[in-house]
Amino acid sequence: MEHTISAISTPIGVGGISVIRISGHNAFSVAKGMFKSKTPFDKIKSHTVTYGKIHDNKGNTLDNVLLLKMKAPKTYTKEDTVEIHCHGGIYITKKILELTYENGALPAQPGEFTKRAFINGSIDLMEAEAVMDLISAEAEDSYKDALAQLKGEKSLEIKKIRSELIDLISHIMVIMDYPEYDIEKLTVEQAKKQACSIKKQLKELIEDFDNRRIIREGLNVAVVGDVNVGKSTFINRACGQNRVIVTDIAGTTRDVIEVKIDVKGLCVTLKDTAGIRTTEDEIEKIGIEKSKEAIEQADAVIYIADINRPKKDEIFNYIKNLDKTICVLNKTDLITENEREKHISNIEKDLQKTFKDRIISCSLDKKEGINEIFDKLLDMVDAGSIRQGTSIITNARHKKHIIDAIEFLENVEQGSYIDMLSVDLTCAADELGKITGETASSDIVDRIFQKFCVGK
């Protein structure tokens, strides 16, 4: 790529430092025209940090900075690269960026640095996608998945399967083009058998991908219950701060409020919903409808009830047949001490037919039961066994190409002539190549990098 690009690589805002990144064959000349230090720019060694000042084209000092000079090809983009570490103010950061433009750089497009790394062979397409997955990771599990993909571990598995297809295609082509050579013959049935074996591997990849959805996307949990039973209190206790308004007024929560937390390495989105009840308030009715939608879309439901009236709310009848529900009997502290144990036992026994062993009695106001609720939640969704598995493909794009490859392999199973089999086998191999970028079109590549942030 001929032109030199620059962008701010750190989030826009006030902070300790900001980083402006420059990449391209003119990166050094762009930086040289604005950076002054005791060491002449041309004498600065590659992959070293140098203290100096940024001057504008009139000679005015803009900031004291650290400059990192990196000579190609040992850089992220495999191009000459410069990073300027300046003070983290919005104004000064933008002034230095504008100065790079004045000195010949062009504004980087979203993901253009990583796109150049891909085009120049530093990383493949799966590894490039892992960069954004790593940045977007909100908990340990999704972070580990992204890191494994960034290291190239997942790409190797796809390339290995594709290599099996290429070997099979090559064998068929040699037999067809050079029948006179003494090469081990391959029958149609043998080719079909190999194609079937590869198809089985691909189906296992899809199954693993579907099973690990909650690792990638996190767990969606609807927190439901009658008005004023402690839903918002639970969320505030869970995230350790007052994110949701808590009052004694029924119907305080009017909309679905989302809070993301890290639960033992898994990203969990708690959705605080409006209490479901009969109401004439039009705004509250809208909130109640959204609550029902949240329940339908949730991976799990935490149903919170007042232990003194656990069956009297309308939400109970709405969720009682769902297998994905944990029942939290709140406000145990309001029961007199001499009656507490017997009352809790009777209520839990009565609800076991509905919720089985998924019942927890506690006082959320006293900060009780939070860990037990989340332990029960992770057990219910079988998070432990899901974590033990692995997923080679990590997004819907990968899955689509795998499905398309499987369809071509199913065509192979229906084929009758050895030469015709090679056509569908080649198409299947192309689909796998699109995942790693070996056969991806420019449209696919552009679409992927448009989702990136500018500066990465």
pLDDT tens track for 295-320: 888 999 999 988 987 666 677 877 88
* Most confident residue range from 112-116, 128-132, 366-370: 112-116
The single-letter DSSP state of residue 111 is T
Q: How far apart are CA 69 and CA 79, in angstroms?
A: 11
Higher-confidence position of 78 and 143 = 78
**What pLDDT sits at residue 239?**
84
**What pLDDT sits at residue 246?**
43
Does residue 12 have a pLDDT over 90? no
As a whole-number percent, the residues of the chain with pLDDT over 70 amount to: 90
**What pLDDT sits at residue 45?**
96
| Cβ burial, residue 426 (10 Å; 0-12/13-18/19+) | middle
Does residue 364 have a pLDDT over 50? yes
3-state SS string over 273-333? Answer: CCCCCCCCCHHHHHHHHHHHHHHHHCCEEEEEEECCCCCCCHHHHHHCCCCCEEEEEECHH
Does residue 199 have a pLDDT over 90? yes
**What pLDDT sits at residue 247?**
42
| Cβ burial, residue 232 (10 Å; 0-12/13-18/19+) | buried
Q: How far apart are CA 343 and CA 334, in angstroms?
A: 11
**What pLDDT sits at residue 189?**
85
Q: How far apart are CA 144 and CA 307, in angstroms?
A: 40
* Most confident residue range from 103-107, 183-187, 272-276, 389-393: 103-107
Q: How far apart are CA 99 and CA 83, in angstroms?
A: 14
Average pLDDT (46-75) is: 96
Higher-confidence position of 181 and 240 = 240
Average per-residue pLDDT for the chain: 87
CATH topology of domain 5-108: Gyrase A; domain 2 (3.30.1360)
**What pLDDT sits at residue 280?**
62
**What pLDDT sits at residue 312?**
60
Under CATH, which architecture does the 216-388 domain have? 3-Layer(aba) Sandwich (3.40)
Q: Find the radius of gyration of the CA atoms of the chain.
A: 30
* Most confident residue range from 108-117, 409-418, 443-452: 108-117
**What pLDDT sits at residue 401?**
96
Nearest to 65 by CA among 75, 74, 53: 53
- pLDDT-derived band of residue 254, with 50, 70 and 90 as boundaries? very low
Find out if CATH 1.20.120.430 is the number for domain 127-212+393-449: yes
- Give the domain ranges of the chain: 5-108, 127-212+393-449, 216-388
Nearest to 369 by CA among 377, 360, 358, 378: 360
Q: Edge-to-edge strands of the sheet including 325-330?
A: 257-263, 266-272, 219-225, 300-306, 325-330, 359-361
Locate 290 and state its tokens.
């959204």
For strands 219-225 and 300-306, give the pairing.
parallel
**What pLDDT sits at residue 250?**
43
- pLDDT-derived band of residue 424, with 50, 70 and 90 as boundaries? very high
Average pLDDT (187-198) is: 88
Amino acid at 305: A
* Most confident residue range from 175-184, 319-328, 429-438: 429-438
* Most confident residue range from 137-146, 200-209, 239-248, 279-288: 200-209
Does residue 249 have a pLDDT over 80? no
**What pLDDT sits at residue 182?**
55
Locate 217 and state its tokens.
């996307």
Helices in 389-449 by DSSP H: which ranges?
396-414, 418-436, 442-449
Q: How does pLDDT run across 79-90, given as a tens digit for each residue?
A: 999 999 999 989
**What pLDDT sits at residue 448?**
84
